[in-house]
Structure 1
Amino acid sequence: MAALNGKLTKRLVENLGPGRHGDGAGLYLVVDPSGARRWIVRVTVKGQKNRKGAPLRTDFGLGGADVVTLNQARERALEYRRMAKSGLNPRFNAQREIPTFEEISRQVHIDRLPTWKNAKHGQQWVNTLRDYAFPKIGRMPVDSIDQPEVLMCLAPIWTLKHETAKRLAQRIKTVLDVAKSKGYRSGENPVTAIRDARVLPPVKKQVEHHDAMPWREVPAFYADLTTRSAMAAKALQFTILTAARTSEVLEMTWSEVDFDARLWTVPAARMKGGVEHRVPLTNEMLAILEPLKAMASTYVFEGQKRHQPLSNMSMLMLLRRMGRNDVTVHGFRSSFRDWAAEDAGAPRELAEAALAHQVGSDVERAYARSDLLDRRRALMEKWSLWIR
């Protein structure tokens, strides 16, 4: 039992600050600046030399301190030292319990659930790994994954689905970084090595433009739209008037609307940029909203199911029924942007603020605290009058 004694205690393991803290006999607790804690053991393998001819001294990860207790770390360290003393390199002889790539991935997903912008985004994160990584490397021990294994996942979709491949690479990197922080891996992240070495061919980014209606045609189209009574038509009218994104309008709830202040406040959690956005409500917008209050629904634009929003395809399908296969719902934001520049003469920062776009550097945004609400209210009034 004496072999299992050391300098550290359970309380110290939980509270020591960043650095390498020795327990004795080659066992160390490593605390990263992030607070992640892992165990390593340093051993000298009897009879083996390194490249310089000196005794082979090397470090081995024993796992994260959140899953490997102090006593377990001491037991594993003792096992490693016995092997090294016998001339056996623990790297090839130790029976380590290394989790698979999929196991670590799913744990990372669970650990980060509170940080996801929404449940859908969190599910997309793990689904990308499920579809493109798990079938190839999911069952592999996380410490055995290197550049060839990562390339197996990325290469087949690198040019065909480049944006997906870039997201996949970032998510694989995150999983392997977490595995390293828990002591299951060592060395450089293979995703970083692949990127720095430019192993995969450069892919020219294709800029995707949403088909937009010329701003001069919007009033005639809007007039046609007002003759329709379907909820999708009301939602599309409101979307055009506010120049908002489809999801922002469809997921809009009555609690976000202040009729007295003539204001619609979209919470940060529902905004693409993760920043709360205030939309000034004009008379035309309020004329759409007022009759809908009588439905007493959770959502402003209720779908076929009670207290559920319209389908995210409802407005696009309406456009198709109206014979407008040449435009998209999102394109009306571009229509507004072009009108603001060409007809209204609005300054760039004002038009971009109306679209909830972040402009300028981080420093510039830090000083530009105002969301220009009063000026935007005047701009949106002018837009409503133009459309009507």
Structure 2
Amino acid sequence: MAALGGKLTKKLVENLGPGRHGDGAGLYLVVDPSGARRWIVRVTVKGQKNAKGAPLRTDFGLGGADVVTLNQARERALEYRRMAKSGLNPRYNTKREVPTFEELSRQVHIDRLPTWKNAKHGQQWLNTLRDYAFPKIGRMPVDAIGQPEVLMCLSPIWTIKHETAKRLAQRIKAVLDVAKASGFREGENPITAVKEAGVLPKVKAKVHHHDAMPWQDAPAFYAELDKRTATAAKALQFTILTACRTSEVLDMTWDEIDWDSRLWVIPEERMKGGNPHRVPLTEEMMRILEPMRDFASTYVFEGQKRQHPLSNMSMLMLLRRMGRGEFTVHGFRSTFRVWAAEAVDFPREVAEAALAHQTGSEVERAYARSDFLEKRGELMSVWATFLLKQTFSANS
């Protein structure tokens, strides 16, 4: 096997610095500045020309030096050279290399980036795999992953971090589905098999309630809040008035407001349900917004950094400073919803639409296309009047 000899040794492979180091006969060890090491082979395909009419000379990756040994790299390089010498392009004639779970996961992440609502969600998708799957199965070829390997990832966190474990299972399943569709594996997805077999314990989902201020106390709190001039206070007032989510308010930009129609239109990419949401602007909402225009920022509620929104903790910290630390900002949506149910006579669908909640079956929603904008405008005006009743009395 003289053809498998070369200039490099195992010790050199482990210790050479950054650069391209030749072993001979077209095989190179490439060491990146980061220290990562990989093999490539350069071959010239007999009888084939490139776009410029010169002999077709091509580089092929043979894998990382941490998983492909020096002898394995020489064997693969020899196989590629033999193909090229006989006029076969290795790109189309070698056995397809099966990617590792981490390699394919990162490719799936890149492919799906345009489909996510924002970059943060896309990064969370990858981070879940990075933290809980890559350490266990990241280096395994995707065709070698079965139920035991899946359980190795899920079992340690299934009961203590159940929501994270469910997301992890969904993401592993997605990667292995892509592997099957790409021809890298066959048979049933092991995530499906684990689920159907019921081998993981049943975990009773805990209903999480956001601590909400009783609606009867809201006017007094609003009057106290109105005395404050900080941007966080104005953002919290606007959040309470609109019954919107924290992120929807903090990421609000001026170009989302239609001043003539007195509408705030939240685009679909910023909505939890993935549908645009129209918010009718009441007189009190307009009173909050008008002075904020003087800051000439992209964002309505600008934070400490210029052209950046308030921190998502700003309103919560304000609640704590005001001695209302037992409540959450999100809880004011519940405050509004309970008030709408107990204190006023508006249809349930109108209150649910104000919260951008979907109601009824898919068929019912297909026929009920109205977002009750006019009725919601009336409801939000009554809500504002209720919140202001102690503010008016204090100022009179």
Q: Could you say whether these structures have the same fold, taking a TM-score greater than 0.5 normalized by the shorter chain as the test?
A: yes
Q: Could you tell me how far apart the structure 1 residues matched to 2:288 and 2:92 are?
A: 69
Match of 1:328 in 2: 328
Residue 100 of structure 1 corresponds to 100
Measured in 2, the distance between the counterparts of 1:259 and 1:186 equals 57
Deviation readout 1:304-333 (Å, 9 max, x if unpaired): 011100000000000000011110000000
How large is the Cα RMSD of the aligned pairs?
1.3
1:291-310 correspondence runs (5 A): 291-310=291-310
Other-structure match for 2:21:
none
What does the per-residue CA deviation read over 1:80-114, in whole Å, with 9 as the maximum and x for residues that have no partner? xxxxxxxxxxxxxxx75111000000000000111
Indicate the SS of the match to 1:370.
Answer: coil
* Corresponding residue of 1:359: 359
> Which residue number corresponds to residue 223 of structure 1?
223
Query: 1:259: Cα distance to partner?
Result: 1.6
Residue 252 of structure 1 is matched in structure 2 by 252
Counterpart check, 1:287 vs 2:294: no
Deviations 1:267-317 (A, max 9, x none): 000000000000000000000000111111000000001110000000000
- Work out the CA distance in 1 between the residues paired with 2:99 and 2:292: 54
Counterpart Cα distance in 2 of 1:74 and 1:329: 58
Provide Cα deviations, 1:117-152, integer angstroms capped at 9, x if missing partner.
111111111111011101111111111110010001
Deviation per residue, 1:329-370 (Å, 9 max, x gap): 000000000000000122111110000001111111111111
Percent of aligned positions that are identical = 73
Counterpart position of 2:192:
192
- Partner SS state of residue 112, structure 1: helix
Query: Counterparts of 2:329 and 2:120 in 1: how far apart (Å)?
Result: 21
SS of 1:111's partner is: helix
Query: Unpaired segments of 5 or more residues in structure 1?
Result: 1-69, 77-94
Output the CA distance in 1 between the equivalents of 2:199 and 2:283.
57
Partner residue, 2:149: 149
- Show the counterpart of 1:160: 160
Deviation of the 1:248 alpha carbon: 0.2
- For residues 128 and 74 of structure 1, what CA distance do their matches in structure 2 show? 35
* Residue in 2 that maps onto 1:183: 183
Q: Residues 381 and 185 (structure 1 numbering): CA distance in 2 closer, same or farther, change over 3 Å?
A: same
Distance in structure 2 (CA, Å) of the matches to 1:353 and 1:372: 7
SS at match of 1:340: helix
Determine the structure 1 residue equivalent to 2:118: 118
CA distance in 2, matches of 1:371, 1:96: 53
Q: Which residue of 1 aligns with 2:13?
A: none
How has the CA–CA distance of structure 1 residues 291 and 134 changed in structure 2, closer, same or farther, with 3 Å as cutoff?
same
Offset, 1:221:
0.3
Report Cα offsets for 1:32-82 as digits up to 9, x if no partner: xxxxxxxxxxxxxxxxxxxxxxxxxxxxxxxxxxxxxx9769745xxxxxx
Q: Distance in 1 between matches of 2:123 and 2:349?
A: 34
Change (3 A) 1:200 1:291: same
Distance 2:189 2:89 in 1: 29
Determine helix, strand or coil for the equivalent of 2:298.
coil
- CA distance in 2 between partners of 1:235 and 1:100 (Å): 47
Q: Which residue of 1 aligns with 2:135?
A: 135
Aligned-partner Cα distance in 1 for 2:335–2:168:
34
- Alignment partners' CA distance in 1, 2:354 and 2:209: 19
**Could you tell me the TM-score, scaled by structure 2's length?**
0.75
Runs of 4+ in 1 over 6 A off after TM superposition: 70-74
Q: What is the CA–CA distance in structure 2 between the aligned matches of 1:197 and 1:328, rounded to whole Å?
A: 40
**Structure-1 separation of matches of 2:331 and 2:205:** 20
Give TM-score scaled by structure 1 length. 0.76
Distance 1:253 1:327 in 2: 27
**Deviation readout 1:145-194 (Å, 9 max, x if unpaired):** 10010001100000001011000000000000000111110111000000
Taking the aligned partners of 1:241 and 1:187, their CA distance within structure 2 comes to 54
Gaps of 5+ in 2: 1-87, 389-396
